Each structure stands twice: as structure tokens, then as C-alpha cells.
Amino acid sequence: MSDAAPSDGLPAAPHELRVPPGPQDDVVGLCRDLLRIDSSNYGDGSGPGEREAAEYVMAALTEVGWEPEIVESAPRRASVLLRVPGTDPTRPALVLHGHTDVVPAQAADWQVHPFSGEERDGMLWGRGAVDMKDMDAMILATVRDMARRGWRPPRDVVVAFFADEEAGGDYGARWAVDHRPEVFEGATEAVSEVGGFSVEIGGRRAYLLQTAEKGLLWLRLIAHGRAGHGSQVNEENAVTALAGAVARIGAFAWPVHLTPTVRALLDGVADLTGLPFDAEDPASIDALLAALGTTRRFVGSTLCTSANPTQLSAGYKANVIPGSAEATLDVRFLPAEEAFADRTLAHLAGPGIAFEDVHRDIGLEVPFSGPLVDAMIGALEAEDPGAVVLPYMLSAGTDNKSLARLGITGYGFAPLQLPADLDFAGMFHGVDERVPIDALRFGVRTLERFLRTC
């Protein structure tokens, strides 16, 4: 409500009460503020950390009367935790979580400064706009509204804003699970990022609810050989051995394996488009993926395990054959294929190549059914009548992996109604990341509906 005088020129009556701002009024400013905080995570501890973002979240929550806790796993690696009591304390709790770190951004590549939080063309631009300060702002706006208007969810909600998700969560969700498990006591389910966003399929708007995510393995390959002069014949050249291993792995065509989640999604796409679905026919699958538009970038990567070489390191001078060489792989395995991935990589690398885990975490696949899923679907359908909701697998990972160690079942539900021509998938870790303001407002309305019924 505006502080301006009424249109008749009379002052407001003394007994009139100001209506507190609702979450739709709050979410845009919260998101803009968060985008202006540089919380880049370089993965090596050299970034600014999440402390400033965590302090902003603390202030936003304490301003309306909540008493959150800030925890640091290392200097400036800060997370924020809060338990919101529900109306029925006998029910299992829900974890509602986001992460405040973002991947780095090169300002020269962007149309706007990546930490400007600039509003342009009805969108908020900045690193983290879709991954995932948009959802952080939705969570904040909704939880602040609970305090302002005095409503409560039907069960306890553990609200968490984690550090370090972009580097695997060792200083964030995983640290909290290992060192503060009591915070999550009684929680059985969780909701976080990269699900509940809209796509246009066959002329219909559909929302993709994340019910699975691939496993994560960042792997270092090490080849040892015989050091020597660059002019000499050397049959134990570590660079040659490593290059061969990397080339074989990078060129390998992993076999297609459609998990239950992926099959259910393709079935749904077939129903919406009228296209045939034959799990044994690659052409049939390709046609269904094409119907997803730019979202095929997410979905296409969930048909099989993948292993991409990402880093190479060897040598220190042009005429010196080094004694060792190293490479890094980004492996994303299907939930049931971790052991298969390990065996296949060892076979492709061949003898003499050592493997070291840089970071390893599980894949997840959970049911597209049950009361929590019904509540998410119901909230989307209430805000967008006639919409279709389908399950899908995320090709990347989330902090739900860490919570799974406590037996907590995690889903991706950061609801956004998006323009059909917006390349949503391409903005994750990309340039010119941005989120429509109308989508933020839709999301916070949907999140409130969900939390009132979950």
C-alpha cells in the first residue's frame, strides 16, 4: 500500500492499518539485492565466499521477527538455517533450501554487469538469476510473509540457504548434514532448485517437476612416465599416454538407458505432441527431444551417462618430456550406473592411468507420486489452470544429494512460468543470465500455495 494520501486529499484515518507488503511486492527487490552481491564460487577457496549474501538473508529474516542462525564451515563460507514451526508438529518436517553461491562470470562477455541486478525488458539480469537467487528470493519473500501475516505451513519447514553448492557442497549442505544433523531432525522430504519451470510442448504449456538427478564424479586422471629430453625417442611419454586416454574417453558413445523418470517424461511429450514413442528407436526419441525446444539441453543429457574432459596439465618447458601428466573429467552418471561408469572409464583409459576422485556424489531418482508431489502439482494447476505437469531428470546435481544422506527425499520445485522463446536451460552457468519479473511473481504465488498445503 502506498504511503501517499488518499485520492480525495484527506489524510488516512488514524484507525486505518497499513497492509503489510505481500510476497509479490517483496520478491523482486529481494532478488535484485541478492544479484548485486558477488558470491562467486571458484571451487578453490579463492572467491569472496557467501558471508555477505548470508548476512543479507539474516537481515531479511530478522527484520520480520524470525530468529535464524548463521553458521560458518570455514571463514566466509556461511549458511543460514531457520526452522519454521507448522500447525501440526506431529507431521514429518519439510526442508526448503537454496544456495547463495554462484559460478563466476566474466563481465566482458555480458550485455550488463553480471552483478548489477539490472532490470531490462521486464527481466532481472545477473549471475544467479536462474541459478538460484531467483528461488532464494521466492523462499525469503514467502517466509517473510508468514511472519508478517501470521500464517504457518501445515508442518515444520526447515529453511536453509547453503554455501558451496556450485563446488559440491563440502562447505555448505554436506557440512551442515555432517556437523548439524539435529537441524534436520524429523525431516523426510525436501524441495529446492531446477524444477517446476514451464516449457511449451505441442502448443501446450507444461511444467517439468524434477524427480531425479544424475550422479556427480569429478575425476583426476594421472599418467606417469619417464622424464627426458624432448629430442629423444621416449616410449614412456606420460603426455602421450594421457592424451590417448582422454581422447578415448571423450569420444566414447555411452549406451542409452532410459530410467523410469525419463520414460515418463517422453511418454508425456508423446501424448502432448501425438508423436510416437519407441524406446528402441533413436529417431523416435530424437523427435520427442526436439519437441522440448531449448529444454532438450537438460533432457538430452539424461538419456545416458556422460564423461567430458575439462582440464589438462603437463610439463613446464617445450624441450622437456615431463614425468607425469594430469587431466580432469566431469562425469555425470545415471542413478543406477555408478559402478558401470567406473569400470568403463578404467577400460577406456587403459593400463598405466591412475584415477583420483576430486568429488563424488550419488544420483537420485524418487517417485512422481505421493502427497508432496500432489501439493506441487496442485499449486501449479491452481495458478495455471489446464497446465500439464511432467517429471524429468536434471542432468546436473543439487544439494538434495547431501540431504539424502539423512534419508530425506528431494525434489526440484522452483516454479517459473516462462516465455516460450526464452532459452532457460542455456542460461545456467551461461552469459546474460536473467529471469522474467512476471515469472518471479508467479513463482512466489505458487510457492505460497504449495507451502500452505504441503
Minimal CA–CA distance to 452: which of 131, 160, 62, 149? 149
Minimal CA–CA distance to 218: which of 360, 335, 343? 360
Low-confidence ranges of the chain (pLDDT < 70): 1-21
pLDDT (0 to 100) of residue 175: 98
Cβ pair 373, 367 in contact under 8 A: yes
Strands 204-213 and 388-394: parallel
Question: H/E/C letters for each residue in 164-185?
Answer: CHHHCCCCCHHHHHHHCHHHHC
pLDDT (0 to 100) of residue 41: 97
Please report how many Cα atoms fall inside a 13 Å half-sphere around the Cα of residue 444, on the Cβ side: 28
Domain made up of 23-194+396-453: CATH architecture: 3-Layer(aba) Sandwich (3.40)
Q: Does domain 212-361 have CATH number 3.30.70.360?
A: yes
* Per-residue pLDDT tens over the stretch 256-267: 999 999 999 999
pLDDT (0 to 100) of residue 10: 35
Q: How far apart are CA 242 and CA 137, in angstroms?
A: 45
pLDDT (0 to 100) of residue 167: 93
pLDDT (0 to 100) of residue 19: 56
Cβ pair 225, 237 in contact under 8 A: yes
Helical pair 133-149 and 23-35, crossing angle rounded to 10 deg: 140
Cβ pair 32, 136 in contact under 8 A: no
Q: How far apart are CA 78 and CA 52, in angstroms?
A: 9
- The cell numbers describing 406, all together, are 539423512
- The cell numbers describing 357, all together, are 576422485
pLDDT (0 to 100) of residue 319: 96
pLDDT (0 to 100) of residue 21: 67
Q: How far apart are CA 342 and CA 333, in angstroms?
A: 10
pLDDT (0 to 100) of residue 5: 34
* In the chain, domain spans: 23-194+396-453, 212-361
What Å distances lie between residue 27 and 163, 207, 445, CA to CA? 21, 21, 10
